[in-house]
Amino acid sequence: MIQKITQSAFRIILFFSIFLCTEMNSYAQTKAINPQVLSFDRICADATTEYNATFTYSGFPAGTVFVVELSTNNFTTIVTANTIAVSDPAVNQKTIKFNVPSNLAGSDTYSLRVSTTGFSSAKFVSFGLKNAFPIYYKAHDRQYTINNFNGTATFCAGGSILLTIDGDSTTPPNDSPLKYTFLTYNWYKDNGVSTPPTLMAGATGPSYSVSTEGVYYVETNYGTCTSESYSNRVTVSSAASGSSVTIDSSLGNPFCATGDGTVLTATSGNKYQWKKDGAVIAGATNRTYSTKESGKFSVDVDFGGCVATGSIDLKSNGFNASIDVAENNKIVEGETLNVSITTDAATPKYEWYLNGNLIDGATSGTYLVATIGDYKVIISQAGGCITTKEFAFKVSYSTALVTSVIPNILKLSGLNPYWNIPDIYKNANTKVIIISSNGDKVLDATNYQGDWPQTGIDFKNVNPVYYYVIQSDTGEKKGSITVIK
């Protein structure tokens, strides 16, 4: 009897367990994300393009955040797209509007899926035909230059030459794609109008070593996406030993030696060494060399085993000039100094200045200095290459005539129409004050250099009288100054 009861109880318990499990499973839902076919078969993105991914889902709680993920290796490595907006076009359906990161490394083999924390969908397919398609971000979509924008290059027969995408500092200015380090490239050999170009296998970097003559160019690799990011074409030829090298001057020859000067550019090769008048110019080992000087310039170009030399007799259509006095000059009171300019300028023009003021009537290549001060002469050439040269010099009294006598009469019509004082008072520790008879202070200076008055003196019925005070380390001196015409 006990055995029968036990068996019945077991059947009841087993039935209840099966019933309970069935009830629980009826309330459980399997998580699922089911993508719809994409409306595009490739992504050719820029800063403005946006894309939609629509999918249905089940088994996820409210508020679940979904994202679009991209990968080229079965999602071992994942790139998360930028979510712009999420909409709900139907029950249990969402559309994610997204764009791709601006530093995305492009490829023809991207897969796309929708994912959330701990769960991801099956891969999207494109029009039901494939689950891998091109995705590129066109960070650079403008033309650029290679080979320093030079249309020709030469390599030694049996050797090679390296063609390289130019940086932004190239002359003329270049909008280089090299600033976008994630980009790759396709190098081509141009076969003419009727034959498609030849893709150089394996050449995906910013440089390509050419060992066969032909016309070459490079495009930024955007797969099957249309692109305006490509270079100029370069005609590459081979050279034997002794081949000619040409040098071009950017400002012509002769050139105007102003600003940064002219840029000399040699025939393209592998290595360069510039010389001037036969002497090696240290550090001048680039294809270009900038100079403001005239002379015979040459360059040795190594084409990869054979070396050739080119030269140019560079001339400037500017002018040369020199001055026959030193930067600092001494005269004694009453003495003059004759200053001369020598120049080969065509129809030169001269301007002489004293203490920053233009000297009226001083328009020749010589000037007779009778007054101390800071002088400057500017020589200009109006014809041909318009340019100027400038020389500055200073004239002061000689310390050979040291005297302690302070003059009390100033004659404005003399060779030195300034009130001069002994050199022992011309220093930073001595103050000179001059006061008019009306009590107006007309000068208060240290390190006075004997250059008062700077403005005209008002003469009335009598010669004006001024009073001076000289304060130095050795004491104070006072006196009067009578100004006469």
Beta carbons of 310 and 298 less than 8 angstroms apart: yes
From 30-34, 203-207, 323-327, the region with the lowest mean pLDDT = 30-34
CA distance 332 to 394: 14
- Mean pLDDT of the region 238-262: 77
Residue 14's pLDDT band, with cuts at 50, 70 and 90, is very low
Residue 2: predicted pLDDT? 40
Q: Is the dihedral of CA 471, 476, 478, 484 positive or negative?
A: negative
pLDDT at 469 exceeding the cut of 60: yes
Residue 79's pLDDT band, with cuts at 50, 70 and 90, is very high
Pairing between β-strand 107-116 and β-strand 93-99 as defined by DSSP bridges: unpaired
- Mean pLDDT of the region 46-63: 92
Question: How confident is the model over 343-360, as pLDDT tens digits?
Answer: 888 788 999 999 999 999
Higher pLDDT, 98 or 401: 98
pLDDT at 142 exceeding the cut of 90: yes
Residue 265: predicted pLDDT? 92
Rounded to the nearest integer, the mean pLDDT of the chain is 84
Residue 398: predicted pLDDT? 75
pLDDT at 366 exceeding the cut of 60: yes
Beta carbons of 436 and 464 less than 8 angstroms apart: yes
Higher pLDDT, 82 or 159: 82
- Mean pLDDT of the region 79-104: 95
Higher pLDDT, 199 or 3: 199
Question: How confident is the model over 382-403, as pLDDT tens digits?
Answer: 766 767 889 999 998 775 544 5
Query: What predicted TM-score, i.e. pTM, was given to this entire model?
Result: 0.49
Higher pLDDT, 260 or 469: 469
- Mean pLDDT of the region 179-185: 95
List Cα–Cα distances, 8 to 4, 19, 179, 328, in angstroms.
Answer: 6, 17, 82, 129
Question: How confident is the model over 438-465, as pLDDT tens digits?
Answer: 888 999 999 998 889 988 888 877 888 9
Residue 425 has phi, psi (to 5 degrees) of -100, 0
Residue 367: predicted pLDDT? 95
Residue 161: predicted pLDDT? 83
- Mean pLDDT of the region 228-249: 83
Residue 89's pLDDT band, with cuts at 50, 70 and 90, is very high
- Mean pLDDT of the region 190-199: 94
Residue 240: predicted pLDDT? 65
Residue 132's pLDDT band, with cuts at 50, 70 and 90, is confident
For residue 173, say if its preceding peptide bond is cis, omega within 30 degrees of 0: no
- Mean pLDDT of the region 263-283: 90
Which of 104, 116, 103, 124 shows the shortest CA–CA distance to 34? Answer: 124
The tokens of 53 are what?
A: 């991914």
Residue 27: predicted pLDDT? 42
- Mean pLDDT of the region 65-85: 93
12-26, 47-61, 167-181, range with greatest mean pLDDT: 47-61
